[in-house]
Amino acid sequence: MTILQNGAPGSITRRTHPLWFLLPAYGLLLVFFFLPTVFNFVYAFTDWSGFKAAINPVGFENFEQLVSDGTLFRSLRITIVYAVLVALFQNVFGFGLAVLLERDTAVNRIARTFFLIPVLMSALAVGYIFQALLKGTELLAHTTWTVVVVALIHAWKWMGLSMLIYLAGLKTIPLDVIEAASIDGASRRTAFWRIRVPLLAPAVTFNVATALLGSMNGFDIVQATTGGGPARTTEILNIFIYRTFGQGLFAQATTMSLVLFLLVALMAFPVIYVLRKREEVL
């Protein structure tokens, strides 16, 4: 926010516009971002449901019930496994593609475009296409491995974006650093692993964080591919929330989405902190 203390050294003293000009912007922020989040907290402590008109506070009852019921923990576990797998696959594929397609040849340019197409596709379309492709195979019917298959599909859809960001990272590495390394006698392999990869740290931070936290909030691809099956082994939390909301248990569904929100926040801070730490050595 703009600092308006008069006379403080280095501060902006010239008022070009009155402060209340900010009100519309903050008003929008409040109504469309702050209030929904507040309601997410408030409704979690009520008995809001599709069955009756009144909404009464119930304290921590929804939380107690969720904790006593094993379904929440199972869904949370599946969600985390899914998110970690997606983050892993998406970054490995994206990184591999970026390195493969780094040089600006005509073929590479065309190939990059093709790998970016899935990013632009509707997630539901991707899900339904793969569901049709894999129909009848064991791949979508195995109670252990289907979650991996769905994570691969998710990674397949988004790997183009990771590729783009890694490419941008690779392009920004100054050529003289690489030249200096080769003059110092570093092989291409050493230069790649010891110089170029560490210099990609900011790209890694962005890619890992968005893939991990984005897939924690995943829904569309899983819903379209498996709908949570087989035997609910791919029922990530958002599918569970969707099911609960659909039963008219709005407060319980809100409570779950609050739990998901807190979990994402809890995971985001350490993950981003650790990845940022890696950037500090630069």
- Decide: is 278 part of the binding site for another protein (CB under 8 A): no
What region does 103 belong to: left with phi over 0, alpha with psi -120 to 50, or beta? beta
- Decide: is 143 part of the binding site for another protein (CB under 8 A): yes
Binding mask 63-102 for another protein (x = CB under 8 A): --x---x-x-------------------------------
- Decide: is 246 part of the binding site for another protein (CB under 8 A): yes
Q: What angle do CA 37, 42, 43 make, to 5 degrees?
A: 100
Nearer to another protein, 26 or 193 (CB): 26
* Site residue total, another protein (CB under 8 A): 37
Using CA atoms, how far apart are residues 96 and 216, in angstroms rounded to an integer? 23
Dig out the tokens for 158 from the structure: 């988004």
Nearer to another protein, 81 or 275 (CB): 81
Interface residue with another protein, options 141, 168, 186, 195 (CB under 8 A): 141
- Decide: is 11 part of the binding site for another protein (CB under 8 A): no
Binding mask 13-42 for another protein (x = CB under 8 A): -------x--x------x----x--xx--x
Indicate the DSSP class of residue 139. Answer: G
Indicate the DSSP class of residue 57. Answer: B
Minimum separation from the CB atom of position 111 to another protein (A): 36
Using CA atoms, how far apart are residues 142 and 145, in angstroms rounded to an integer? 6
What region does 3 belong to: left with phi over 0, alpha with psi -120 to 50, or beta? beta
CB of 88 within 8 A of CB of 162? Answer: no
Closest C-alpha to 90, from 223, 282, 221, 261: 221
DSSP H/E element including 231: none
Nearer to another protein, 30 or 121 (CB): 30
Count of CB atoms situated within 10 Å of the CB of 62:
24
Minimum separation from the CB atom of position 35 to another protein (A): 7
Nearer to another protein, 35 or 110 (CB): 35
Interface residue with another protein, options 75, 233, 254, 257 (CB under 8 A): 233
| DSSP β-bridge partners for residue 57 | 46
Binding site for another protein (CB under 8 A): 20, 23, 30, 35, 38-39, 42, 47-55, 65, 69, 71, 136, 141, 143, 229-233, 242-243, 245-252
